[in-house]
């Protein structure tokens, strides 16, 4: 396999950071997790990421949830943003904003299978878009508001339906931790080209002084890393498609751990709020150099104990 | 988020409030801008990730060499910042601050939110804009804090108030006739900002500094939502990049 030698700012040129994901060459294995990298900051992260992944887009504009939307917890944070976004039409009008010389992946969410399919149809003919990630942690209004990834049945249904219009583009299914192994198998059987594991974990913060719920939302950050790592490891054992690891990555060692667990690429989310992804990449490069490994070798580098 | 390691020069405590001074040679803060700050870990080569997020704190003052942050100790993050340690991790000054136009103007502040008004007053003085400062001092505030505020804002009119509920009214009443001002700059609790917004509506331009919880502080996460009017519709915008200072008429409270 010929892989492009990555030229990445600030890292050792002798270290090969390149990986291949569903036939797409990525100069580094890092991808921003959906909803954690604003257009305004794209300039600051040149040479750090292997692909661009903007905030989840929905068929129509969404105002998002009323504040407060974030809360701090031990070694992590909870967010309840409500998928605030300008909607598909505006997103497509401004797609060139994401032209930063990297493969562009898009994250999509919708209320129904039909709407997921309609969005995939719009992206199917969009040359700028290299892959589509289905955000399956949104409520399925046709199934009483249960998340699409609540069980293998709906995962299979939505992935199979989106597979049809996206015949020429890689399709990723982003799953939550609960039932992740069965859901990942269902996604693969329905035609997903990769699975992204894991989304934030449902969580809650209480205010004992006011005796009320402060925030209910998704937990991210280092608190969930071991959970995400287990999901990536176990799913990698049973599916043949690539796994994209995400959850609590805050260092280059974390990136290496996810890849050793079986991830072909790694998304960085709330970790980028507290550290620079550039630093994480430099640490990852140092790890590879010290161990005489290339990034793409890590998935097979785990030794049995 | 890029955080710089800086040297702590001084810490002071006034009851639940803390003043932190650190050496700053980066870009100077505009009044109304904020920084993200967290303690540096002495034991880890990187940093402790608990607490996870840095805290957004208004730039209180900057003299060309040292930055001052004035904040309320509310939880673990701020308690650690007010605690010990010779180093600190801080971001560049962030966000959109106050715009300085013509005078005379009134600066209206309450509680710990008076913080950004010090740097604003400094810039107004430098620009030759006449300004008066009106600050609420809650009755419950520690004496040391009240003393420090009166020392820090020597020309300010200090308005003692019984609590948050009447604070905005009391401060606005102390100003009297607003029509002698070309603009109102406010930083205070939500009821005070709301009151300033109401009295200034259609007559005097106001600029209000809002305070929101933040995570990324660079526009990525949409965590610091502020309701605003956009083309006649209520929508959420981001305090970190569109604010934290907003024209009063834009805020849709």
Domain of residue A222, residue span: 19-300
Domain boundary among B46, B73, B90: B90
Domain of residue B27, residue span: 4-90
- Tell me the pLDDT band of B75, cut-offs 50, 70 and 90: confident
Q: Hey, which residues does A26 pair with through a beta bridge?
A: A19
The B-side interface with A (CB below 8 A) comprises 1-3, 38, 46-47, 49-54, 75, 77, 212-227, 234-236, 241
Provide the number of structural domains found in chain B.
3
One domain, residues B108 and B133: yes
Chain B partners within 8 Å of A37 (Cβ)? 220
Judge whether residue B170 has pLDDT over 90. no
pTM: 0.93
Where helices occur in B20-163 by DSSP H, the ranges are 76-82, 115-126, 143-152
Interface test with A, best of B52, B56, B76 (most A CBs within 10 A): B52
Contact B217 A251 (CB under 8 A): no
* Mean predicted confidence (pLDDT) in B30-40: 95
| Both tokens assigned to A143 | 């199934």
Domain boundary among B38, B68, B90: B90
Domain contains A165? yes
Contact B220 A272 (CB under 8 A): yes
Minimum CA–CA partner of B220 in chain A: A38
Domain contains A10? no
Judge whether residue B218 has pLDDT over 70. yes
Contact B53 A276 (CB under 8 A): no
Contact A69 B225 (CB under 8 A): yes
- Tell me the pLDDT band of B220, cut-offs 50, 70 and 90: very high
Give B230→chain A minimum CA distance, Å.
12
- Tell me the pLDDT band of A124, cut-offs 50, 70 and 90: very high
The pLDDT assigned to B43 comes to: 52
The pLDDT assigned to B9 comes to: 97
Contact A70 B223 (CB under 8 A): yes
The pLDDT assigned to A3 comes to: 41
**Distance, CA of A117 to CA of A59 (rounded, Å):** 10
* Mean predicted confidence (pLDDT) in B205-223: 95
HEC per residue, A108-155: ECCCCHHHHHHHHHHHHCCCCEEEEEEECCCECHHHCCCEHHHCHHHH
Helices (H) and strands (E) in chain A, counts: 8, 13
Domain contains A4? no
One domain, residues B41 and B25: yes
Contacts of residue A171, Cβ cutoff 8 Å, sequence gap at least 6: A120, A131, A132, A134, A159, A162, A163, A191, A192, A193, A194
Chain B partners within 8 Å of A35 (Cβ)? 220-222
One domain, residues B147 and B203: yes
Contact A66 B225 (CB under 8 A): yes
Interface test with A, best of B80, B236, B244 (most A CBs within 10 A): B236
One domain, residues B12 and B73: yes
CATH number, domain containing residue A105: 3.20.20.70
**Distance, CA of A35 to CA of B216 (rounded, Å):** 11
Average pLDDT over chain B reads 90
- Catalytic residue selected from A22, A120, A138, A149: A138
DSSP string computed for A209-251: TTTEEEEEEEEESGGGHHHHHHHHHHHHHH-SS-EEEESS--S
Interface test with B, best of A10, A38, A214 (most B CBs within 10 A): A38
Contact B216 A272 (CB under 8 A): yes
Chain B partners within 8 Å of A36 (Cβ)? 216, 220-221
Most distant CA atoms of chain B, gap in Å: 57
One domain, residues B163 and B230: no
When CB atoms are compared, the residue of B46, B218, B223 closest to A69 is: B223
CATH number, domain containing residue B186: 3.40.50.80
The pLDDT assigned to B140 comes to: 77
One domain, residues B83 and B122: no
A66 touches chain B (CB under 8 A): yes
Interface size A-B, in CB pairs within 8 Å, comes to 114
When CB atoms are compared, the residue of B3, B38, B215 closest to A79 is: B215
Domain contains A14? no
One domain, residues B202 and B103: yes
- Tell me the pLDDT band of A285, cut-offs 50, 70 and 90: very high
Domain contains A135? yes
* Mean predicted confidence (pLDDT) in A130-151: 89
Provide the number of structural domains found in chain A.
1
One domain, residues B109 and B159: yes
* Mean predicted confidence (pLDDT) in B96-100: 97
The pLDDT assigned to A44 comes to: 73
CATH number, domain containing residue B235: 2.10.240
One domain, residues B82 and B69: yes
Judge whether residue B45 has pLDDT over 50. no
CATH number, domain containing residue B43: 2.40.30.10
One domain, residues B84 and B167: no
* Mean predicted confidence (pLDDT) in B135-158: 84
Domain contains A5? no
One domain, residues B85 and B119: no
Give A167→chain B minimum CA distance, Å.
31
Q: Compute the C-alpha angle B47/A225/A194, nearest 5°.
A: 130
Domain contains A305? no
The pLDDT assigned to A6 comes to: 45
Please say if A162 is a catalytic residue: no
Interface test with B, best of A72, A225, A276 (most B CBs within 10 A): A72
Domain boundary among B90, B116, B138: B90
Contact A64 B225 (CB under 8 A): yes
Judge whether residue B179 has pLDDT over 70. yes
One domain, residues B191 and B220: no
Domain contains A9? no
Judge whether residue A127 has pLDDT over 60. yes
Q: What is the DSSP letter of A42?
A: G
The pLDDT assigned to B54 comes to: 94
């Amino acid at each position: 396999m010929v892989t492009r030698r990555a030229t990445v700012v600030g890292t050792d040129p002798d270290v090969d950071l390149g990986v291949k994901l569903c036939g797409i060459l990525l100069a580094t294995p890092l991808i921003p997790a959906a909803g954690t990298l604003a257009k305004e900051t794209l300039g600051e992260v040149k040479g750090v990421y292997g692909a661009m992944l903007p905030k989840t887009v929905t068929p129509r504009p969404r105002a998002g949830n009323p504040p407060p939307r974030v809360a701090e917890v031990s070694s992590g944070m909870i967010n309840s943003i409500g998928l605030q976004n300008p909607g598909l039409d505006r997103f497509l009008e401004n797609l060139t904003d994401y032209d930063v010389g990297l493969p562009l992946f898009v994250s999509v969410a919708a209320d129904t299978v039909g709407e997921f399919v309609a969005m995939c149809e719009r992206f199917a003919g969009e040359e700028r878009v290299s892959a589509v990630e289905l955000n399956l942690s949104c409520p399925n209004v046709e199934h009483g508001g249960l998340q699409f990834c609540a069980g293998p049945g709906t995962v299979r249904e939505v992935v199979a339906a989106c597979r049809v219009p996206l015949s020429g583009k890689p399709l990723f299914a982003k799953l939550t931790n609960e039932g992740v192994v069965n859901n990942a198998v269902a996604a693969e059987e329905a035609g997903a080209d990769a699975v992204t594991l894991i989304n934030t974990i449902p969580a809650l913060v209480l205010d004992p002084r006011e005796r009320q719920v402060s925030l209910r939302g998704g937990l991210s950050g280092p608190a969930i890393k071991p959970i995400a790592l287990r999901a990536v490891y176990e799913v990698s054992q049973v599916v043949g498609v690539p796994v994209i690891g995400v959850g609590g990555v805050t260092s280059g060692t974390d990136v290496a751990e996810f890849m050793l667990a079986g991830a072909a690429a790694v998304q960085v989310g709330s970790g980028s709020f507290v550290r620079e992804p550039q630093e994480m990449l430099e640490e990852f490069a140092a790890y590879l150099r010290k161990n005489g490994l290339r990034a793409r070798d890590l998935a097979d580098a785990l030794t049995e104990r | 988020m890029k955080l710089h390691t800086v040297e702590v020069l001084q810490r002071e405590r006034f009851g639940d409030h803390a003043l932190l001074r650190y050496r700053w040679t980066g870009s100077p803060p505009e009044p109304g801008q904020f920084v993200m700050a967290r303690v540096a870990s002495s034991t880890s080569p990187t940093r402790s990730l608990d607490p996870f997020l840095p805290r957004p704190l208004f730039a209180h003052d900057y003299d060309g060499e040292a930055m001052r942050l004035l904040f309320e100790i509310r939880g673990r993050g701020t308690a650690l910042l007010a605690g010990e340690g010779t180093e600190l991790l801080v971001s560049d000054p962030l966000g959109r601050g106050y715009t300085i136009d013509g005078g005379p103007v009134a600066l209206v502040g309450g509680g710990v939110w008076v913080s950004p008004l010090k740097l604003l007053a400094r810039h107004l003085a430098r620009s030759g804009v006449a300004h008066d400062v009106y600050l609420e001092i809650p009755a419950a505030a520690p004496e040391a804090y009240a003393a420090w505020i009166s020392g820090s804002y020597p020309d300010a009119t200090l308005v003692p108030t019984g609590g948050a509920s009447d604070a905005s009214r009391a401060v606005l009443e102390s100003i009297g006739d607003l029509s002698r001002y070309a603009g109102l700059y406010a930083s205070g609790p939500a009821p005070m900002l709301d009151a300033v917004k109401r009295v200034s509506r259609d007559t005097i331009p106001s600029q209000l500094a809002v305070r929101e919880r933040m995570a990324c502080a660079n526009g990525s996460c949409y965590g610091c939502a502020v309701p605003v009017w956009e083309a006649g519709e209520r929508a959420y915008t981001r305090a970190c990049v569109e604010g934290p200072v907003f024209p009063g008429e834009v805020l849709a409270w």
